[in-house]
């Protein structure tokens, strides 16, 4: 099996995290402990949980952590939409981030399918 940093899901979610950090640098200073912190935390959670899941001893644990990554993407998606509604992001920035999130969701869903297949083979 590949190392986690060779996985497309990890690479793409890391790129998404970097995008979030760069864009939130321009948010109002009074939001540093508000939505900026939430966006960064949710974004960073995605590649971090992929890495943690890959490092787990059982396939069941791996799948669990990858699902957490997927949940963090849903959280991030919500926060991006709200950030745009608040005027902290322009439509083009929101659309770019949402397209990155969709790509990450697709890659993570593929990773989950892969590990579920491995789990089924191990059970038989």
User: According to the CATH classification, is domain 4-123 in 3.40.50.150?
Assistant: no
Confidence of residue 25 (pLDDT cuts 50, 70, 90): very high
DSSP notation for 37-62 = HHHHHHHHHHHHHHHHHHTSSSHHHH
Alpha helices, DSSP H, located in 1-124:
8-24, 35-54, 59-85, 91-123
pTM: 0.94
Percent of the residues in the chain that have a pLDDT greater than 90, as a whole number:
94
- Domain locations in the chain as residue ranges: 4-123
pLDDT for the residue 1: 60
pLDDT of 48 higher than 70:
yes
């Amino acid at each position: 099996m590949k190392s986690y940093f060779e996985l497309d899901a990890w690479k793409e979610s890391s790129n998404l995290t970097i995008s979030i950090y760069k864009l939130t640098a321009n948010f109002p200073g009074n939001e540093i402990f508000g939505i900026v912190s939430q966006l960064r935390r949710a974004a960073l959670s995605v590649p971090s949980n992929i890495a943690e899941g890959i490092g787990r001893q059982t396939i069941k644990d791996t799948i669990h952590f990858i699902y957490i990554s997927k949940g963090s993407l849903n959280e991030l998606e919500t926060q991006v939409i709200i950030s745009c509604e608040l005027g902290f992001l322009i439509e083009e920035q929101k659309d770019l981030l949402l397209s990155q999130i969709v790509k990450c969701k697709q890659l993570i869903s593929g990773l989950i399918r892969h590990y579920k297949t491995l789990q089924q083979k191990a059970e038989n």
